[in-house]
């Protein structure tokens, strides 16, 4: 029933480096998230444009 541990033990230095990397990613993610203004958007609206043959041939 007991599983063999095949992973190498993680050193304290490796753990600290990984922790700092994760914290940096969280800081970057939180910095990018700004409260959205309902009147201003950074997204481009998707518009379905229809081409009229009479206008394109002129």
State pLDDT tens for residues 10-55.
789 999 999 999 999 988 887 766 666 777 766 777 777 777 777 6
Q: In this structure, is residue 49 part of a structural domain? A: yes
Q: In this structure, is residue 17 part of a structural domain? A: yes
* pTM confidence score: 0.41
- The 8-class DSSP code of residue 10 comes to P
Q: Give me the number of domains the chain comprises.
A: 1
Q: In this structure, is residue 46 part of a structural domain? A: yes
CA–CA separation, 52 and 31 (whole Å): 45
Domain carrying residue 41: 12-55
Q: In this structure, is residue 6 part of a structural domain? A: no
Q: In this structure, is residue 7 part of a structural domain? A: no
Can you read off the two tokens belonging to residue 20? 């700092």
Q: In this structure, is residue 24 part of a structural domain? A: yes
How many helices and strands (H and E) does the chain possess?
2, 0
């Amino acid at each position: 029933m007991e599983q063999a541990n095949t992973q190498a033990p993680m050193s304290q230095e490796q753990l600290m480096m990984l922790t700092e990397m994760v914290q940096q990613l969280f800081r970057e993610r939180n910095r990018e998230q700004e409260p959205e203004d309902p009147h201003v958007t950074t997204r481009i609206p998707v518009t379905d444009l229809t081409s009229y043959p009479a206008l394109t041939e002129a």
